[in-house]
Amino acid sequence: MKKIGFIGLGIMGKPMCKNLLKAGYPVVAYDIVTQALDEVVAAGAERGTSPKDVASRSEVVITMLPNSPHVREVALGKDGIIEGAKPGTIFVDMSSIAPLVSKEISEKMKEKGIPMLDAPVSGGEPKAIDGTLSIMVGGPEEVFKEVEDILKVMGASVVLVGDIGSGNMTKLANQIIVGINIAAMSEAMVLAAKSGVDPEKVYQAIRGGLAGSAVLDAKVPLILQGNFKPGFRIELHIKDLMNALETAHEIGVPVPLTSQVMEIMQALKVDGKEKNDHGGLIQYYEKLAKYEVRK
């Protein structure tokens, strides 16, 4: 089994790293948050002291970080992966970042003989824990084949979609669809519930038809309980939609619905709800309608 370096042990990264340990992979881990690192070390990981240190002790290095600047710094900065990795070490960035940044980092890594994949994920914390994430991968097929089994420990769906940057472009498409789905569901559920129809029965009635979706099944039960504990925070979805808007504008693709959902999320951020789960987007509609959709 290849020795894996894992950097970034947040809501998503920590369970992903633990699943690799459960599958028997040797892992050296690192995070700036000592408590998170202590937890995976207790689960069997070796303790890394920096991205450079992790890379020097690994055959495959995985990062799961918040955004483009964090990945750039960890990969290319002082004591970064590029300083520790040997030629032939495979770098797999599973963060959700701007596709152009993935390409930029890949070019720098290639100069040092370090092949890179961008492999962002979808599914939130529950699927990270279960090891059933959807993983969309960009990069050379021969590199993908070398780490496919590793990725399948963390994901139920692992698809090579194209060249480097394609994984993150696919993730942006995913986040547009998820965000607009949540907004549409929220708008519809507030309308139905305030009119006097039982929201639980509305959900049961429509989930088997064309309006049914993974978003509906994942979010409505939580909304009915008023549970907005984050599986995927609004502030992270804002980050993804910002990347989507910037990328769309760069390549000349109008995205009016994405812009609308971004403004709804920004309003929730102003309201202090940015750390809620993105299913909490319904609170924007509830506030306007002066009605809460609950059991």
Q: How far apart are CA 227 and CA 275, in angstroms?
A: 13
- Outline where the chain has alpha helix (H): 13-22, 34-42, 51-56, 68-76, 81-84, 99-111, 124-130, 141-154, 166-194, 199-206, 214-225, 234-251, 256-270, 282-289
- Contact between residue 181 and residue 253 where contact means Cβ atoms under 8 Å apart: no
Q: What letter would DSSP give residue 28?
A: E
Positions annotated as catalytic residues are 171
- Kindly report the number of other CB atoms within 10 A of residue 20's CB atom: 25
What token pair was written down for 163? 């060249």
- Contact between residue 57 and residue 5 where contact means Cβ atoms under 8 Å apart: yes
- Contact between residue 242 and residue 258 where contact means Cβ atoms under 8 Å apart: no
Q: How far apart are CA 106 and CA 121, in angstroms?
A: 19
Q: How far apart are CA 291 and CA 122, in angstroms?
A: 31
Task: For tokens 């408590």, name the residue.
Answer: 35
